Amino acid sequence: MALVAGVDCSTQSTKVLICDSETGAVVRQGRAPHPDATEVDPTIWWDALRSASDGLLDGVEALAVGGQQHGMVTLDADGEVVRPALLWNDTRSAGAAAELIDELGGRQAWADAVGVVPVASFTITKLRWLATNEPAAAARTERVVLPHDWLTWKLSTNADPTTDRGDASGTGYWSGATGEYRLDLLRRAFGRDVGVPEVKKPDAIVGHTADGIALAAGTGDNMAAALGLGAGPGDVVVSLGTSGTVFAVAEGPTTDPSGFVAGFADATGRFLPLVCTLNAARVLTAAADLLGVDLDRLSELALASTPGAAGLTLLPYLDGERTPDLPDETGRLTGLTRANARPEHLARAAVEGMLLGLADGLDAVRQHGVPVRRALLIGGAALSPAVRAVASGILGVPVEVPAPGEYVALGAARQAAWALSGAAEPPQWPVAAQRAPETNPADYSAARDRYAQFRTAVVELSTQPNKS
Ligand SMILES: Nc1ncnc2c1ncn2[C@@H]1O[C@H](COP(=O)(O)OP(=O)(O)O)[C@@H](O)[C@H]1O
Ligand SMILES: O=C(CO)[C@@H](O)[C@H](O)COP(=O)(O)O
């Protein structure tokens, strides 16, 4: 039995799975936490990877890294990190995003050029922010790479970092439709040329560790999750980690000038239209903290309420929001009365608010021609019984919950097995899934309407000159 390893360097932690390369069975696993911050010294990820994989890699023949998308890792001429990485959920480059949209002639121009419209999450806006705000650090920057590129390079004996098309498609300077960098856009953002990693094929072996473990190309965490789930036609993945994401594997590129649906590439040579919200699992931890309960009790409370949370609606923009693009917003609660001011309704409003933004995302992905037969619910908050109970009613589609697991790390391991095999397609790894309780979407139509009205009002308010 050949063993392969998959790594997930996500926002809150690093996870490592060691799998049988033929069946995908997990034989051992490890994890290590990351700090709660939106800029992180990449050596923290390296230490977390070493800690999470400590004692696990004996006998492993190939490894791949899946990583949180978009993070800006800047390297100097000696390959040293210039400054802490700015993560996907750092909103300081929102102004840079607006500048870049204007300079290129609007949203459509960006969607046509690279399949995405700049928001603060994307690497290209962080580079503009760096050039404007930290000229000394910018001057020292010779290369820019993504979290998974940097970790793969650190693991390797290679002289230069590499990347893959999935993660490259989230930079804002690589086009999935053409498979080429747009170095003119990178130059426009940063003010001069800066080195970028070579984009390797999905099944490539890109190097080896000092111990001789083959390294596959790796990819972004959402692309890895799609691979780990073996997502196919009709499957829409709803991932409830730090971010909330809704995505599907598509045969062709998508273009959305509104910027709602990002036209990413996947990790197999296909595409991955994706909607991402900045606020998912942590909405539940914040609500639990507010109520002074743990996550299990929060779920029990939410289940004690009813669809629509007795009229309470939460716009869950606790860390600002990306979709819709409201980086400076805060969470807002409406509909509070003396009758519904109860812990169970607040708990329910948190669960529903988190899912309602993703229901909008699912509709948007569907409008881009993605067939939706079922939603696959993954990520830390998919462990919540209340989330599972409410999901199908709010999303309006049958929901299946894959057996609890680390699907990003599993997808990375599957990529490693594919690269090791030299086969044309990734190995077939079965994924067991359970149907979540069916709830009637009609029970949530009033809640969806209220949420839509509240969201529209807040979007309008944000565009007024003296917004409150
Ligand atoms: N039973 C649960 N109910 C709700 N949320 C949970 C539960 N278990 C874990 N989580 C949340 O899941 C999140 C971590 O999920 P994960 O998908 O690993 O995130 P990320 O990939 O962004 O690091 C944490 O915010 C944690 O509180
Ligand atoms: O920015 C995106 C997708 O565009 C996020 O999905 C990041 O990739 C981080 O993912 P998690 O750590 O929340 O899984």
Per residue in 293-310, pLDDT (tens digit) is 999 999 999 999 999 999
Nearest ligand to the CA of 358 is: 2
What tokens were used for 279?
């606020």
The answer on pLDDT for 128 being more than 90 is yes
Rounded Cα distance between 204 and 284, Å, is: 39
- Residue among 36, 65, 69 to mutate when testing ligand 2 (max atoms within 8 A of CB): 69
Residue 468 pLDDT grade (very low, low, confident, very high; cuts 50, 70, 90) = very low
The answer on pLDDT for 467 being more than 70 is no
Q: Using the atom order of ligand 1, give the atom closest to the CA of residue 282.
A: 25
Rounded to the nearest integer, the mean pLDDT of the chain is: 97
- Residue among 121, 222, 282, 365 to mutate when testing ligand 2 (max atoms within 8 A of CB): 222
68 lines ligand 2 (CB under 6 A): yes
Asked if omega into 324 is within 30° of 0 (cis), the reply is yes
List the binding residues for substrate: 69-70
Q: How far is the CA of 167 from the centre of ligand 2 (A)?
A: 11
The answer on pLDDT for 324 being more than 60 is yes
- Please give the DSSP secondary-structure letter assigned to residue 438: P
Q: From start to end of 324-398, where are the E strands?
A: 332-334, 372-378
Q: How far is the CA of 68 from the centre of ligand 2 (A)?
A: 5
Ligand 1, atom 23, lies closest to the CA of 12
Q: How far is the CA of 310 from the centre of ligand 2 (A)?
A: 32
Calculate mean pLDDT across residues 441-461. 96
Do the beta carbons of residue 412 and residue 219 sit within 8 Å? yes
Using a cut of 0.90, tell me whether the model's pTM lies above it: yes
Chain position carrying tokens 């299946």: 400
Nearest ligand to the CA of 69 is: 2
Q: How many CB atoms within 10 Å of residue 251?
A: 9
Q: Using the atom order of ligand 2, give the atom closest to the CA of residue 67.
A: 8
Do the beta carbons of residue 188 and residue 102 sit within 8 Å? no
| ipTM > 0.90 (yes/no) | yes
Do the beta carbons of residue 398 and residue 7 sit within 8 Å? no
Instruction: Name the residues annotated as catalytic.
Output: 221
243 lines ligand 2 (CB under 6 A): yes
The model's pLDDT over 18-38, given as tens digits with 9 standing for 90+, comes to 999 999 999 999 999 999 999
Percentage of the chain beyond pLDDT 70 is 99
How open is the CA angle 63-219-35, to the nearest 5 degrees? 85
The model's pLDDT over 138-162, given as tens digits with 9 standing for 90+, comes to 999 999 999 999 999 999 999 999 9
Beta bridge partners of 8: 15, 66
pLDDT of residue 465: 66
pLDDT of residue 376: 98
The model's pLDDT over 240-279, given as tens digits with 9 standing for 90+, comes to 999 999 999 999 999 999 999 999 999 999 999 999 999 9
121 lines ligand 2 (CB under 6 A): yes
Q: How many CB atoms within 10 Å of residue 422?
A: 8
Calculate mean pLDDT across residues 124-129. 98
pLDDT of residue 466: 58
119 Cβ contact list (under 8 Å, min separation 6): 94, 97, 125, 259, 322, 323, 325, 327
The answer on pLDDT for 182 being more than 80 is yes
